[in-house]
Each structure stands twice: as structure tokens, then as C-alpha cells.
Amino acid sequence: MVASRAIGCLRRFANASRTLHHCSGYICRNFSRSSALLARSHINYGIKDDVAVIRINSPNSKVNTLNQELQSEFMEVMNEIWASDQVKSAVLISSKPGCFIAGADINMIAACKTPQEVTRLSQEGQKMFEKLENSPKPIVAAISGSCLGGGLELAISCQYRIATKDKKTVLGVPEVLLGILPGAGGTQRLPQMVGVPAAFDMMLTGRNIRADRAKKMGLVDQLVEPLGPGVKPPEERTIEYLEEIAVTFAKGLADKKISLKRSKGLMDKLTSYAMGIPFVRQQVYKKVEEQVRKQTKGLYPAPLKIIDVVKTGLEEGKDAGYLSESQKFGELAMTRESKALIGLYHGQVLCKKNKFGTPQREVKNIAVLGAGLMGAGIAQVSVDKGLKTILKDATLTGLSRGQQQVFKGLNDKVKKKTLTSFERDFIFNNLTGQLDYQGFEKADMVIEAVFEDINLKHKVLKEVEEVIPAHCVFASNTSALPINEIASVSKRPEKVIGMHYFSPVDKMQLLEIITTPKTSKDTTASAVAVGLKQGKVIIVVKDGPGFYTTRCLAPMMSEVIRILQEGIGPKKLDSLTTGFGFPVGAATLVDEVGVDVAKHVAEDLGKAFGERFAGGSLELLKQMVSKGFLGRKSGKGFYVYKEGVKSKDLNSDMDSVLAGLQVSPKPEVSSDEDIQYRLVSRFVNEAALCLQEEILATPAEGDIGAVFGLGFPPCLGGPFRFVDLYGAQKIVDRLRRYEAAYGKQFTPCQLLIDQASAGKKFYQ
């Protein structure tokens, strides 16, 4: 639950990367009166009356990215336009539906070896955009689809912006999510355009802004409604229409019939007035900086540098601002944090693909067993995407609760205005709630989310197999029970698979899919296809106790208990873990997961893996369960939870429990840093073991799973990226030191030792 908050920021990657899949091939029309059609690969332009229409369409790619080739072609075209007497204005548009310009080319930055190289790239961009800004002929950016990062910086250098008002059209500067900053004048232009507070919000959160909101903010000047079918497909005609409108406005701007001055609302006027007062500005910087420090714990350098650069520009003038922007951009691009975040971005793109191919049958009807928190969550993300879903529970009360959860989830979207109430009703209608197996004969996939008890799972599996058709996949949502054990009673084990969702399902992006040796490839392909439809980032792992995610978490949790036993209080422990970059403190995490669940998992995995998973005493969890301290769900765990109260106090009844189980700490490994590394190194070691044992197929999946499922610090990029950036040898050294103090639990696995001795990296 809590993990989702910090990961929220990373969710937005998904939106950016999702656009990658939407762009379908679009063939650029020939101009009737094209003049200068030179052989350019990214850009062509033609002249309509006296308006130059510049079309961007990078070859062999679903998106346009600002790489060097495109930039130089663009400047070439602009120089021609500026030199031409025929042209009075220009329109800049993409020929790819769903994508204006998705941003700068990340690889271009990654290829740079020194900060100076990156700074130079930034300065080239700045110069180019400054030329556009000072263009004597007005340029209209006609935006349809994602307009992100460098794409938005380009758009705001133009004199006028027109955007299509559809869901695919989003504007934003997501650089901060990659640990860098908008390096082509964005930090300087955005505050001028939308005001300092809104500019900070955009640059520090990296959030995507939909077209209608962008219009209200003053980021775009006009909106164009998407069109339906005419005598051409809707997407094609919509782009044409956008171009026609943009041409009209370009003419109007050139003839000075349309004014560039925007009428500002009262609030905007007040804000810009207030921001004109130096004292107010200082207060704003201070406030924003405080907030950033509090949220990032100083672990992410990019947001602070963004504040700094904006400040420089506003206080010391444009030239100083540009200089600072390019320098800081260069510095940031070289940071470990940026490399880690960019790695996560690539990993996520990878985990949004179905490498198992297209399933033989498309899954259209699914059934979810158990209307608990998980079951209803799974149902919600399914109906949302148009899957007909049966939600089955054993009792009417349970079922009603689940249905209400789905409704509430959808209704919250109505309140946030991302859905209309009509769309909500339409989507909710995809859900059928029932207590029996009626209609299961049409199900293409059954996902069970019943209580974690092997006998119960066996019972429902047998019942379900009686009623489902031969092609139907049976997926088990379990966090620890081995899938092959569940499948042992199945008549068709090739159709049985594990789908491990994370709670809350509608917020957590990860889906861990578990295959047994008997699971067929087509079954896996189906499960991945459904997961992708549900909007999940997917890792596919092999079966084994705790699979990947739970297995990594368990030794760390064991260490958590030991640390608590050694006398570190829950609050201190929480601040140590969040200080390392975990979105949720370790003690809070136990409360959120549920003490009983944690105990259950610890027992199961303890049995399976023996001493390596030992450390803390299980007795602590047992006593907590017996006292009813189950965590948030029971109102008490390490902390006390009250409905509607956000701040939480320590549960004083825990003092005696902790006192009774106290062990004496080992001073040589009990510094704050050691405590942090004891936790993380056990996590990392276990993750490496999963790769060594081929539970994991790739380190990228391991990183995505750890960050998106367990809240592993995103600034470290996941356990494997962390080893690469921190150094395998250093990790092994640390593990050896802790091993000396505590024994086998810290013995580094062979893979880590090999990596260290060979000086190899997980990512090349």
C-alpha cells in the first residue's frame, strides 16, 4: 500500500512508454504544392499558401525522438524557411498519430563520457530553441500525442501551440524521473509561461499534463477536438484537421490578426504579481526546497538542481540561467542516480512486452474467485480494460464488499475527472457478481484469489476444473505457495500458472507471473497478455518457494526483526530504511503487509530455505499475532492506527514484547550505515541467488520486480543495478564482514563472488 506512494512517480514512465505501442504506421501524404522536397529522413516540409508545414516522421520508429540527425535536419529546414520570401509563417507537426515528440534521445546522452559533452549537447539545444523563440516568422506547434521532455521544450519555444484534446495527447517534462533536468531551455521558459509554482510542479514531479489542463495553465493556446470517422480513418483525419487549423492560425499570426497575448485569469495575474516580489520568490524557493528535501531525503540530486537552475535564471537573468541549466544538466547526467533511473526506464519498457508471443486465443472473459481486497482489485483492473469479468465469492457479504470496492475504485476516477459517470457505469457493467459457477463455461481464464491455504486452493481448483472449458487458464494469485504444489491436483497442469498481484492492485504496477516446468508457453503468453491489458509491468519467474519477490523480501524481514530485537525502535528503523531510499519504513511495511502474513511467509520460507532465512526470532511475530497486533488491518501493530488519522503513534504494548525478546547488539556491525546495509545486502544477496538459480531470467526483471513490487529504492535502480553501480566487490566485502558477526545468513552467493572476482557487471 505505502510502497505505491513513492512509486507513484515511476508510474508515469508507463504512460510515456505506453505511447510507444500506440503509434501505428502512418504514411505521410504528398503535398500538392510541395516545393523543397529534399531527401531528408526525419523531416519533410511543404508550403500551403504562404505557410510552411514541417512534418516530423522519424523512419523505422514508432515515436519521434530529438536525436542529432533530426535536430540538424530541422535546423536546415528552418534556415530555408527563414530565407524564403514565399513563406510568412510555419506549422510544426508530427505525422505519427499518438506522438508529437516523445523527448530527447536518451541514448544520445548515455553515449556521453564526460559532463562537458552533455553540457555541450544542452547548449546546442538551447541555441536551437532560442533561434526558434526569436523567429521573425511565427511558428505554430501542432501537438497531437505525447509531447514530452525535449519535445515540450521545442513546443514552448514556438510562438503558438495547438493541441489535440484526446487522452493520448500529454505534455510534460519527465526528465526528473530519469534523474536529469529539462536541458534545452525548459527550466527558463516554463516559469515564464505557466508561472513559477506550476513550473516547479511540472519539473519536480515530471507529471504528464493532459491537453485540456495544459490549455487552462496557458501551456497551449488552442485545443482541437479529436474527430470521428469521415472518409478517412479518424486518427488520420484528426491530424489533417489539426494541421488545417494550425495553418489558419499561422496565417492569422503572420497577418497580426491573432494576438499572441494571452488573457490571464485573476489567479494568474495575482500569482505573477506575487512572484514579482523578491521576498515572495525567496519564500517559494525555500518552501519548495524544504518539501523536496523532505520527500527525497536528499537521495535524488535532480530536483534540488532544478530548483537551483530556475532560481539562477529568475534572479540573475537569462544568460546565467541557460549556463547553469546546461552545466547542471551535464553534472546530473553523470550521476549514479540518473543511471539507475534510466536503467529502470529501459527495464520497464522491456517488461511491457510479451516475449512469449501472441496467445492462440485472446482472453475476453475472465473469472475471479474470492472478492477480497486482492480479488476485487484484480476485477477492477480487468473490467477497466473491457474484460468481461465474473467476481465469485462464497458469501453475499464478501461479494458485496468486493463489488463496492470495484465501484469505489471507478468512482474515484470520476471524482478525479479521468472517467465520466457514464463511462464508469459502462465499465462497471463488465462485472458480474455471483456466488455460484454459472457462466464459467465461457471463461478464458480463472484467477483465484482465495485465502492462502493450500487445501482451500486445491478445493477450488478441483471445483473450477469441473466447470471451465478445455482452453481456460487457471491462474493462482498467491504470494508464497508454490504453484506446482497447487497444480499437483490439476487434471491439466499445463494450464496452471501463478499470477502474483501486489496490493492495492489498482495502484501497484507489478505483476509477477510464475511458471512451473509443466506450464505451457501458450498459457504463459495468455497470462502476460492479460497482465499487459491490465496495465501491469510484468516479470516472469520460475516456480519455487516465495518465487522471486517474496523470497527476496523474507531474509530482509528476518533482519528487520533481529534489528528490532537488538533494541532499535520501530521509528528509528523506519527512518533508517526510508533514509536509504525505501519508500516505506521497514517496521511500517510489516504493519502494512500484515503481521500474520509476514509470520506465515517467514515460517514457510524458513522451512524451505533453512538457516539462510534465520536471524530474527519468529517468536516476535508469533507473540504479536497472539496479541492481535496484526498491523494496520487490526488497528495495531508496531504502530497504532486510527481511522482518519494520518500521524501514527508507537504501540506502547509492544515494549514488553520487544523487551522479552531482546538480544544484545554486536557493536562492530551496528552503526546506522551497517544496519542499512545489513538489510539491503541480504535482499541483494537473495536476489542474486534467484538469478543464479534461474528463478529469474534476467537482471532487468529482477530490478523491475524489486522496485515496482517491493519498493526497493528507485534511486539505486534495483538490486542488480545497485551491485553494478556500487561495485560487486564492495558488496561481497560487506557481506563477509556481517557473515563474520552473524554467520551463514550473510554468506555471499557464488554469482556475486564471481561477478566481484571477474569485475563483471550485470548490465553491459
83 binds other proteins (CB under 8 A): no
Pick between residue 226 and residue 372 the one whose CB is nearest to other proteins.
226
State which residue, 245 or 525, has the beta carbon closest to other proteins. 245
Site residues for other proteins, 484-523, by CB under 8 A, read none
User: Is 348:17 a contact under the CB 8 Å cutoff?
Assistant: yes
Beta carbons of 448 and 457 less than 8 angstroms apart: yes
Helix (H, G, I), strand (E, B) or coil at 642: coil
290-299: which pairs have CB atoms within 8 A and are 24 or more residues apart?
292/204, 297/578, 297/579, 297/581, 299/337, 299/580, 299/581, 299/713, 299/715
Q: Is residue 165 near other proteins by the rule CB under 8 A?
A: no
Q: Which CB, 232 or 491, lies closer to other proteins?
A: 232
Would you give the distance in Å from CA 744 to the centre of its chain?
36
The nearer residue to other proteins, 225 or 668, going by C-beta atoms, is: 225
Joined together, the cell numbers standing for residue 440 give 464459467
Q: Is 279 in the site for other proteins (CB under 8 A)?
A: no
Task: Tell whether the torsion through CA atoms of 162, 70, 75 and 322 is positive or negative.
Answer: positive
* Smallest distance, other proteins to C-beta of residue 26, A: 17
Q: Which of 234, 567, 569, 635 binds other proteins (CB under 8 A)?
A: 234
Question: Cβ 247 to other proteins, closest distance in Å?
Answer: 11
Q: Shortest approach of other proteins to residue 463 CB, angstroms?
A: 40
Name the segment binding other proteins (CB under 8 A); options: 245-253, 286-294, 322-330, 380-388: 245-253
249 binds other proteins (CB under 8 A): yes
From 232-240, 402-410, 464-472, 493-501, span contacting other proteins (CB under 8 A): 232-240
Distance in Å, CB of 227 to other proteins, minimum: 4
Question: Where do the H-state alpha helices sit in 351-453?
Answer: 373-383, 396-415, 421-428
Nearest Cα residue to 433 out of 391, 376, 472, 395? 391
Q: Which of 316, 321, 439 is nearest to 369 (CA)?
A: 439
Q: How many CB atoms lie within 10 A of CB 412?
A: 13
Q: Which residues are catalytic?
A: 512
Binding of residue 48 to other proteins (CB under 8 A)? no
Q: Give me the helices (H) in 134-210, please.
A: 150-155, 186-194, 196-205
Amino acid at 453: D
Q: CA-CA distances (angstroms) from residue 467 to 164, 395, 451?
A: 48, 20, 21
Q: How many residues bind other proteins (CB under 8 A)?
A: 17
Provide the 8-state DSSP code for 27: P
Binding of other proteins at residue 160 (CB under 8 A)?
no
> What is the closest distance, in whole angstroms, from the C-beta atom of residue 246 to other proteins in the complex?
10
Part in contact with other proteins (CB under 8 A); list of ranges 192-200, 243-251, 302-310, 378-386: 243-251
> Of 229 and 386, which CB lies nearer to other proteins in the complex structure?
229
In whole angstroms, give the CA distance from residue 116 to residue 121: 9
**Residue 231 makes contact with other proteins by CB under 8 A:** yes
Nearest approach, Cβ of 97 to other proteins (angstroms)? Answer: 15
Closer to other proteins at the Cβ: 223 or 618? 223
Question: Should residue 298 be labelled a site residue for other proteins when binding is judged by CB under 8 A?
Answer: no
Q: How far apart are CA 74 and CA 746, in angstroms?
A: 56
Choose between 168 and 542: whose C-beta lies nearer to other proteins. Answer: 168
Interface positions, 210-229, toward other proteins (CB under 8 A): 222, 225, 227-229
| Choice from 245, 461, 601, 716 touching other proteins (CB under 8 A) | 245
230 binds other proteins (CB under 8 A): yes
Q: Is residue 8 near other proteins by the rule CB under 8 A?
A: no
The three cell numbers of residue 719 are 538490486
Does 163 engage in binding with other proteins (CB under 8 A)?
no
Q: Footprint of other proteins on residues 383-442 (CB under 8 A)?
A: 420, 422
Residue with Cβ nearer other proteins (114 or 420): 420
Residue 180 zone, left/alpha/beta (φ > 0; ψ -120 to 50; rest): beta
Residue 287 CB partners (closer than 8 Å, separation 6+): none
Q: Near other proteins by CB under 8 A, which window of 233-241, 372-380, 433-441, 501-509?
A: 233-241
DSSP string, 33-98: T-------SSEEEEEETTEEEEEE--TT-SS-EE-HHHHHHHHHHHHHHHH-SS-SEEEEEESSTT
Please pick, from the candidates 127, 232, 491, 521, the single residue that binds other proteins as defined by CB under 8 A: 232
Per the listing, cell 563474520 goes with: 740
Chain contacts with other proteins (rule: CB under 8 A): 222, 225, 227-234, 237, 241, 245, 248-249, 420, 422
